[in-house]
Structure 1
């Protein structure tokens, strides 16, 4: 693969952290070599991999322990410790999106890289090929197939662009999410793509919904966000409805008024109207309430709810 590097990588003293986006393929791992083997954030299992484990350990990574409930906080503490240390640690390289996307936008950046409040160097990755054989997302070809397709191409290109170091102001130092959003905006402008409020958690939710063959699976992320806005998740409204026997004449065809009554929602609330429209795709004015309950309750963390469904 022909790699073109634009701009200049900052030193650790100038920018202790490198943030890379968009993250779209396993081939992005090549940037570890291009940036001089900085420390990476990686799952502990990867360090024991017989093929790449030794290479990962060479970078002095920050390991994430999946089974440890305190892992997230410990990871953030370690990032802060290294980024602000006077010791000769390598730079820390982070893919702030936390998952692979198709590069059509930049999804929400996780705030982990931005907690230290230190200068950060944004790094953009592009694959300006006529045929896209590299994009590896949760819904698409396997890594092996993509690797084979890439190897069959006469030429493949990758562009790595180092942007100017982003120095946070005092407000951004106090608010990692603001810092993350502002850095994302700079990178999106450079890439010429929009930003999206979707997160890694949203991607996991859609993948889980699809794996369970739930109807309307691609809309369930929006459904969950609207439920949070309407505070339905706090009162466990849907679960209580199921446990108390739903009192609707025909649950396969309920109107907007019935929908509001069942969930105790205001019909004048725009969020309520939007939630109903997500299931009223044919604009008939009625929805299948069972479909709504199935999607919401199946994705609940409550085992009793899943058993009830």
Structure 2
């Protein structure tokens, strides 16, 4: 099946590039039509990607519409979450800037749908991204904004703490729950151990990518509710719908090493417990 899947993806890229390049350059003076066609073409190439995995995706609930002052948030398992959602709706997504061919796609094709990129190692990027997000949600014709508030890929068994940025925008939050069926393939992408290219190859050589996507009821911040409380309430809704366990961990912890002092404290606690057990015997 791998040969046929590569053929499907190749045909998809040929159709996409032969259409996207003329649309992008020849319709530069007709922004409304150009944006509309680019949205459709981005959805199309994402559909080819899903087809190359023999993707079986069931969507539940009303399809997102383009409205100002709303943001969509979803649990995060892999960068393919974006592709699975994008084939139905041309979301503008907030995403880490990647190197290589993925970075090239980000800076060219995906910017056409209003995506916003950041570099986690650059402190100044946070202020810039926060400003761009606020400007985007106010736009009348901008694509729906999609944020993965966990900030990192998680194994689809847990949801880690949501960052509060998406819940401080004074706008409606639309939760999306994504659940993959691990019987066919584990869709989790561990970016520290595997490149995205190898991750795609693993998906293309698996049986199928099977998942459910739920567009859940929009939520607004309640009177007196803090952004953190709002984020936790939305995380509850997503976790319950997807059947995923909530854990009180910060997803960014995987990008940093614990301090030697903290390690020594844990080692001392463990050593003391072993010594007590020996004394009791």
TM-score (norm 1): 0.61
Residue 55 in structure 1 maps to residue 46 in structure 2: no
Q: Is the 8 A contact 2:97 2:106 kept in 1?
A: no
Q: Is the 8 A contact 2:236 2:246 kept in 1?
A: yes
Shift of 1:275: 8.0
Among 74, 79, 96, which residue is 2:133 paired with? 79
Task: Name which one, 1 or 2, has greater alpha-carbon Rg.
Answer: 1
TM-score (norm 2): 0.67
| Equivalent-residue separation in structure 2 for 1:203 and 1:78 (angstroms) | 27
In structure 1, what is the equivalent of residue 217 of structure 2?
Answer: 164
Q: Which shows bigger deviation, 182-191 or 35-44? A: 35-44
Q: Which runs of 5+ in 2 are unaligned?
A: 1-54
Residue 176 in structure 1 maps to residue 259 in structure 2: no
Among 240, 245, 248, which residue is 1:197 paired with? 248
In structure 2, what is the equivalent of residue 98 of structure 1?
Answer: 151
Residue 283 in structure 1 maps to residue 278 in structure 2: no
Shift of 1:170: 2.2
Residues 98 and 281 of structure 1, relative CA distance in 2, 3 Å threshold: farther
Cα deviation code 1:195-236 (max 9, x no counterpart): 11111221212xx46xxxx99xxxx9xx48xxxxxxxxxxxx
In structure 1, what is the equivalent of residue 89 of structure 2?
Answer: 36
1:249-260 correspondence runs (5 A):
none
Q: Provide the alpha-carbon RMSD of the alignment.
A: 3.2
Q: Which runs of 5+ in 1 are unaligned?
A: 225-237, 239-258, 260-273, 287-309
| Equivalent-residue separation in structure 2 for 1:101 and 1:179 (angstroms) | 21
Aligned length: 222
Secondary structure of the 1:283 match is helix
Secondary structure of the 2:176 match is strand
Shift of 1:29: 2.4
Shift of 1:6: 1.0
| Equivalent-residue separation in structure 2 for 1:75 and 1:203 (angstroms) | 22
